[in-house]
């Protein structure tokens, strides 16, 4: 009986060249992964820093409070509040008079458009806020009582660099003299920019 010697083959994973290839592949993958990770972190950090900086600047502008007499610029619009008073009625003409059982806060303000083209100015660009953050809208209905002809802020065109002075009226439950309000002014009818003016004489 002839004895046949059977060759025993080594398993695939025990061959030396397989391990060499595996090591090369692992090193290559690890190297590329490290580069990609570095790029992502760098980009993310850069964008995050810019976003944080922008948010801080925007927040700072909104939180900063100006006072009566200050020139406050929001976008292309400049505001100067020159006077504020409380009253029970608006208007001096007995036929053109508006009365309230609460209080009217009348704010005299000068508005100037600093852009290179005409802009629409409106009472909606003004909001009055109390110490609790409650907001009051300007009463466009009393513009005719509080202003002379042509000095209303209701949907008026403001040409570049031509100051316009008039009164903005708010109906409120309390007097400004008792607990001063804050006037919020915006950069335009569709602008998200704003600034705050504290109405302390």
Longest dimension (CA), the chain: 138
As a whole number, mean pLDDT of residues 86-109 equals 88
Classify burial at 39, counting beta carbons within 10 Å of its beta carbon; exposed 0-12, middle 13-18, buried 19 or more.
Answer: exposed
Q: Is the pLDDT of residue 3 over 50?
A: no
Alpha carbon dihedral 91, 94, 98, 99, in 10-degree steps, equals 110
Q: What is the pLDDT of residue 190?
A: 85
Which CATH number describes the domain made up of 65-198?
2.60.40.1240
Q: What is the rounded CA–CA span in Å between residue 148 and residue 152?
A: 7
Model pTM? 0.67
Q: What is the dihedral of CA 147, 150, 154, 157, to 10 degrees?
A: -150
Q: Dump pLDDT digits (tens) for 33-91.
A: 544 444 433 333 444 444 444 444 444 555 677 999 999 999 999 999 999 999 999 88
Domains of the chain, residue spans: 13-62, 65-198
pLDDT in tens, 21-34: 777 766 765 555 54
Question: What percent of the chain stands above pLDDT 70?
Answer: 71
* Pairwise CA distance, residues 41 & 38, whole Å: 5
């Amino acid at each position: 009986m002839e004895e046949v010697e059977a060759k025993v083959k080594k398993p695939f994973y025990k061959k030396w060249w397989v391990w060499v290839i595996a090591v090369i592949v692992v090193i290559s993958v690890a190297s590329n992964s490290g580069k990609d990770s570095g790029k992502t972190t760098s980009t993310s950090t850069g964008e995050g820093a810019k976003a944080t900086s922008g948010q801080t600047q925007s927040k700072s502008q909104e939180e900063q409070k100006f006072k009566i007499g200050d020139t406050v610029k929001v976008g292309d619009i400049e505001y100067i509040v020159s006077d504020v008073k409380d009253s029970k009625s608006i208007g001096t003409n007995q036929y053109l008079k508006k009365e309230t059982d609460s209080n009217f806060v009348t704010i005299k303000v000068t508005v100037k458009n600093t852009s290179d083209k005409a802009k629409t100015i409106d009472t909606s660009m003004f909001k009055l806020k109390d110490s609790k953050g409650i907001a009051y809208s300007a009463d466009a209905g009393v513009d005719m009582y509080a202003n002379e002809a042509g000095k209303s802020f209701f949907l008026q065109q403001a040409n570049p660099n031509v100051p316009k002075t008039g009164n903005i009226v708010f109906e409120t439950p309390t007097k400004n003299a008792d607990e001063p309000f804050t006037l919020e002014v915006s950069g335009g009818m569709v602008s998200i920019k704003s600034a705050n003016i504290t109405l302390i004489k």
